[in-house]
Amino acid sequence: MLREFTCIICPNGCEIQAQLENGVLTSMTGHTCPKGEAYVRQELTDPRRNIATSVRVQGGELPLASVRLTNPIPKDRIFDAMAEIRGISLKAPVEAGTVVIAQILGYESDVIVTKSVALRG
Amino acid sequence: MENLYDVLVIGGGMIGSAVARELSRYDLRIGVLEKNLDVCYETSGRNSAVVHGGFAYDTGSLKARLCVEGNRMMGDLAKELDFPFLRCGKVLVGNTKEDMETLKRTMEQGEANGAVGLELIDEERLHELVPAVVGKFAMFSSRSGILDPFQYTIALAENACENGVEYFFDSEVTGIGRDEEGNYHLATTQGEFACRWVVNAAGLGCKTISDMLGIEGYRVIGSKGDYIILDKRTGPLLPMPVYPVPSNTYMGIHVTNTIDGNVTIGPNADMVSDFRYYGVPQENMDYLAESASQLWPHIHKADYIRNYSGILPKWVDEQGVIQDFKIEIRDELAPRAVNLVGIESPGLTAAVPIARYAIEQMKEREELRENPAFNPCRKGIVRFESLSTEEQEKLIRENPDYGEVICRCEKVTRAELLQAIHNPLGVSTLVGIKYRTRSMMGRCQGGYCQMRLEQMIEEELGKKETEILYARQGSQVFFGKVREEA
Amino acid sequence: MEKRDVIIVGGGPAGLAAAVQLHKKGVANILILEREHHLGGILRQCIHDGFGLSRFQTALSGPEYAARFIEEVKRCEIPYQTDTTVLEISPEKVVTAASREGLVQYQAKAVILTMGCRERTRGALGIPGERPAGVFTAGVVQAYMNLYNRMPAKEVVILGSGDIGMIMARRLTLEGAHVQAVFEVQPIPSGLPRNIEQCLNDYGIPLYLSHTVTQIHGDSRLTGVTVSQVDEKLRPIPGTEKEYACDTLILSVGLIPENELSIDAGVQLDGRTRGALVDEHYQTSVEGIFAAGNVLHVHDLVDFVSMEAERLADAAALYVTGETLADCPLGIRTDENVGHTIPQRVSGKADFQLSLRVRRMMKDCRVVVRQNGQEVAAKRMKKALPAEMIQFVVRADKLVSQENLEVSVEC
């Protein structure tokens, strides 16, 4: 059977057609780089996504610090990860790059701060 | 009775506020009951904002007389109350022989009404006055003008408030009773109020209140008009309002410059019975643009920044013919109740004369003592954008908050917003602050400033985010925080 | 009056990149004027990732992408002033700005316009109906949620398939709101395919093409919207109305370059981009005033914004050091398939980067640049989408004459 994918790895958004036989990938067309091929292989076996959200900051010049994952995690665990992140509260000052949850849900992915938040002046 | 008001005014729009302000010249305890959260949510804030010359109304009518009087005094009033008013003139543009006949009749009527500065002009003169207009000739009314209807209403209300009038918002009158001493008891959504005199200045609610007072039988219909607002870059093409030649009952779709340099087009006139529905239908927007383009061919969709509508309460007879203003005291039905019915256009121009006319009727029945402390002057918020570079510099030096521009489109500063948030009437809605400053009124419609404005309201007034209202009761902007406090 | 070689109006991705590049070229007497309290512009609220793949070969969030430039600005000690709003730019390049410290005027040799863009609003679209609370543009919702910690929505309908709208659909879903659907009036999406995939499809949010909101209901908070299907002329089809109960309508219906200051400075705009007309030096119709980024034309990716601003800075650096920039007498014409190009004029003497957007989706096509009917540059496209900005270099040595260039897309 034929399955179609829109690659999300880069803004090109290649439309990739994958030919499957009994769930096994036999051929692929439409990708313009090796990342596209890797994406489709991953999607077929274990689709993964990154998420970006915010954590509470106390005493900061901003009420929130934005965070993201360092690596994608399985798509069906996104809301579990959100629940973990929602429980986090940091104290200002907060530096970008700070790991706020290491290996979230046991995956090789940390939750890191993406925006520094200074103390409220 | 301890909590007895001398006068309670029902409705805090421009008529109610004008009545309250004019009454505060006397030694009276006055309250204003307003069902909305600010003074210009209905007809007072939803109109063409044109100060009329007084030529369009039947000679001898109150509309004619009070409009001419209101027009004459508007310049002084604007100075006293510090609201923006521009006597820019206006033209009624015609093309046909019939148009010319109508304009001649209109001019004769105007002169009989006491309107001044009316003149028939040819095409050449018309194009000198308004180069971008289409038409063969016009009637020019040099004494017509435009004002900011929000600032005008707010100025009247604030001046009343500063002279001791108490404003009660979110206070809709639900019933009126009279006790054996002849005092009125007003049941409202915020509890009961008692007074010796009551004034019905309820605008769209005038019939409801009139009925409650026992003065029954008025027929009031709503005439709903839709408008489109155009970007300020169209402003330079329109130095004064351009109207078509009027019919008997309807002024026609006109193009109006606003005091801030935008252009509005409208209104149509749809008869409505729902006085709360302000939606603008697509077909009306298309119709407005098409009609107005015949007068002024500079209407492009790319310049639309907003649309709005307003409803005029029109008192009509059994045949549906529109009647004059009704300003009365019916001693036999409701003594000490001033009943104002069908106050529509030219109510904006005539607001203060209407108030004075009403008060004259009170004075025929009761002696009113002067209030020696009355101050007719009120100061508005100084608009940073309207000043010269030197004045701006001076203002920032005196108050650094004037150096912080919060609304980029209308260049509204923190200082102006702070003054607006701490307004004398205690209004705290986003739209209330918008009306007082023009923040959120520009081409980005609050895309840049509304977050800052909202945060300032929370901080300055100690409100929670869930208490922030957009305009009306129930118009919460937020459901809470993304992340609650730990 | 203080004198500066270069005043940069706006400290977002374009302004920051221009500043850093100018500094590299030896121009030190620069000043960045930023109206907000922080540098970074709109990137500060774009917390999602996917930025930087072209510029830095790595996926970053918006704040991280901005921080790379901000750190560079600080390291190079490039002067900047935040909380400062530019009120006016004169054709003589006098820049007037207000801050709490007062009103300041600068005489600049060159002014770089990097003010970005604003969102199209409900009023600009003229959506009929009432005006309750709960109708927001996507960027406003993004700011409320990501900067101000405010939750403005629970039950959501989105009009417009712009990227910010789709990104907010995902963001709202992650925070517990329910996004019922995204409606797009055009027959094709206006945002990038990857965002349809990862922001909508991943969360089961349907995208309906050729649909639009035809009524807004509610006199206090929004209670619902009416949605209609539209015909090929984008007119609502009577009888297709469907009601959606919701408390929030989010608009992601396009961005408009923010050129009010440019107009006052006498800069001529292109009606198609609503940004300035520029030559290959990114110089506008006013000598010494340059423009890049979203104030010039709305970009799909921030990477291209920065790279465009860097090219601008190369030219502006020459200009302020007294070199004469080559005259640009050659116009660039387009066929009906091309929405616009940047630049609109070139010298014909130097290679230049051509940026353009197509007006409709086209598959297996070629973007061709011709002079005197002769092909001088081309780019093959498997699929050309209006959502994507197409860029390629046109080489001067391939040009055949001093005639205007013509850009077309051929299938």
Tell me the mean pLDDT in the region C374-381. 95
Q: Which of B403, B404, B411, B477 is nearest to B442 (CA)?
A: B411
Non-local CB neighbours of C112 within 8 Å, separated by 6+ positions: C6, C7, C8, C9, C15, C18, C289, C290, C291, C292, C309, C312, C313, C316
Q: Are residues A7 and A36 in the same domain?
A: yes
Q: How far is A54 from chain C (nearest CA, A)?
A: 7
Q: Is B272 in CB contact (< 8 Å) with chain C?
A: no
Same domain, residue pair A34 and A61: no
Locate the chain C residue with the closest alpha carbon to B408: C85
Q: Is B52 a catalytic residue?
A: yes
Let me know if residue A108 belongs to a domain. yes
CB contact under 8 A, A96 and C64: yes
What is the number of domains present in chain A? 2
Indicate whether A118 belongs to any domain. no
Report if residue A23 sits inside a domain: yes
Whether B481 contacts chain C with CB within 8 A: yes
* Same domain (yes/no): A60, A104: yes
Regarding whether A38 and A71 lie in a shared domain, the answer is no
* Reported confidence tier of residue B249, pLDDT bands at 50, 70, 90: low
Put simply, whether C306 touches A (Cβ < 8 Å) is no
Confidence of residue B52 (pLDDT cuts 50, 70, 90): very high
CA–CA dist C143, C43 (Å, integer): 10
- Closest chain C residue to A4, measured at CA: C197
**A114 min Cα distance to partner chain C (Å):** 6
CB contact under 8 A, A54 and B482: yes
A32 and A82 in a common domain: no
CATH code for the domain defined by B84-145+221-310: 3.30.9.10
Instruction: Note whether residue A121 is domain-resident.
Output: no
Chain C contact present for B308, CB below 8 A = yes
The helix/strand/coil state of B285 is helix
Compute the distance between CA of residue B71 and CA of residue B348 in angstroms, rounded to an integer: 10
pLDDT at residue B40 tops 80:
yes
**Annotated domain spans of chain B:** 84-145+221-310, 384-467
Mean pLDDT of chain B: 96
* Binary contact (C154, B476; C-beta < 8 A): no
Residues in chain A: 121
The answer, yes or no, to whether residue B1 has pLDDT greater than 60, is no
pLDDT of C300 reads 93
Chain C touched by A78 (CB under 8 Å): yes
Give the span between the Cα atoms of B265 and B293, in whole angstroms: 9
* Chain A residues closer than 8 Å to B483 by CB: 54-56, 63-64, 86, 89
pLDDT per residue as tens digits for the range B425-484? 999 999 999 999 999 998 899 999 999 999 999 999 999 999 999 999 999 999 999 998
Q: Are residues A69 and A86 in the same domain?
A: yes
pLDDT of residue B486: 56
Per-residue pLDDT tens over the stretch B82-108: 999 999 999 999 999 999 999 999 999
Mean pLDDT, range B130-147, rounded to an integer: 96
Mean pLDDT, residues B376-402 taken together: 96
pLDDT digits (tens, 9 = 90+) for B453-464: 999 999 999 999
Whether residues B486 and A89 touch (CB distance < 8 A) is answered with yes
In sign, the C-alpha dihedral spanning C3, C4, C7, C13 is negative
C254: Cβ contacts below 8 Å, ≥ 6 apart: C119, C120, C160, C162, C190, C298
Residues of C in contact with B477 (CB under 8 A): 133-134, 150, 152
CA distance B394 to chain A (A): 27
Q: Mean per-residue pLDDT for C62-78?
A: 98
d(CA A11, CA A29): 18
Best residue in A114, A116, A120 for a mutation probing chain C (most C CBs within 10 Å): A114
Alpha carbon of C145: minimum distance to chain B alpha carbons (Å)? 6
The predicted model gives B112-119 an average pLDDT of: 97
Residues A21 and A72 in one domain: no
Closest of B16, B77, B154, B74 to residue B437, by C-alpha: B154
Q: Tell me which chain B residue has its CA closest to the CA of residue A53.
A: B482
For residues A29 and A65, state if they share a domain.
no
Cβ contacts (< 8 Å) between A63 and chain B: which residues? 481, 483
Of the residues C127, C149, C246, the best mutation for testing chain B's interface (the one with the most B CB atoms within 10 Å of its CB) is C149
Q: Are residues A8 and C194, on separate chains, in Cβ contact within 8 Å?
A: yes
Q: Which of A55, A56, A84 to mutate to test the interface with B (most CBs of B within 10 A)?
A: A56
Which pLDDT value is given to residue B248?
66
pLDDT band for position A12 (50/70/90)?
Answer: confident
Q: Are A70 and A107 contained in the same domain? A: yes
**Residue A103 domain boundaries:** 52-113
Q: How confident is the model at residue B246 (pLDDT cuts 50, 70, 90)?
A: confident
Residues A36 and A64 in one domain: no
Same domain? A105 vs A65: yes
| pLDDT tens, residue by residue, A13-68 | 888 999 999 888 999 999 989 999 999 999 999 999 999 999 999 999 999 999 99
Cα separation, C190 vs C211, in Å, equals: 13
* Whether domain B384-467 has CATH 3.40.630: no
Q: Chain B partners of C35 at a C-beta cutoff of 8 Å?
A: 405, 408
Which has the closest alpha carbon to B233: B303, B333, B137, B155? Answer: B303
C104-152 per-position pLDDT tens digit = 999 999 999 999 999 999 988 889 999 999 999 999 999 999 999 999 9
Residue B450 to residue C118, Cβ atoms within 8 A:
no
Q: Are the beta carbons of A86 and B483 separated by less than 8 Å?
A: yes
Residue B137 — pLDDT band, cuts 50, 70, 90? very high
Tens digit of pLDDT for each residue in B189-204? 999 999 999 999 999 9
Query: Do the domain assignments include residue A87?
Result: yes
Confidence of residue B157 (pLDDT cuts 50, 70, 90): very high
Chain B residues touching A58 at Cβ < 8 A: 486
Phi, psi of B315 (to 5 degrees): -80, 125
Kindly name the residue from B52, B185, B298, B422 that is annotated as catalytic.
B52
pLDDT at B2 exceeding the cut of 70: no
B454 in A contact zone (CB under 8 Å): no
Partner A contacted by C307 (CB < 8 A): no
Average pLDDT over residues C283-310: 97
Interface residue B480 vs chain A (CB under 8 A): no
Q: pLDDT higher for B247 or C148? A: C148
Chain A interface with B: residues with Cβ < 8 Å: 54-56, 58, 63-64, 86, 89
- Residue B359: pLDDT above 80? yes
Separation of first and last alpha carbons in chain A = 61
